[in-house]
Amino acid sequence: QVQLVESGGGLVQAGNSLRLSCAASGRSFSDYAMGWFRRAPGKEREFVAGIEWTGDNTGYPPSVKGRFTISRDNAKNMVYLQMNDLKPEDTAVYYCAAKPGPFEIVWSAYHVWGQGTQVTVAS
């Protein structure tokens, strides 16, 4: 079983950047696809990025494509989310999640979650 801990959130001005990190512990991290999700107050949990265990295949929704980049370092058991040109609507708690097999955009497909990290974008 993998355990996940996110870090890197904070308060930033619109147009700036943040990089979130997700540290994984436990065995077989490289066997898992990883996803980043977010939940804003009063909204459903939203998929923002996914990456296969090889790192070769990634996916993003239209709302963040071209601004966010997911990457992973299997040697370090780390997953990252680089967020550029942040907007106030990106304000949310961000979670990383893990699942075996390919990444998916549906949050219920993931069975391992971190505790989340708050990102606040001021206008």
pLDDT digit string, tens, across residues 26-61: 877 778 999 999 999 999 999 999 999 988 899 999
Cα 49 to Cα 38, 63, 115: the distances in Å are: 10, 11, 17
Identify the pLDDT of residue 29. 79
Ranges of residues in the chain with a pLDDT under 50 are none
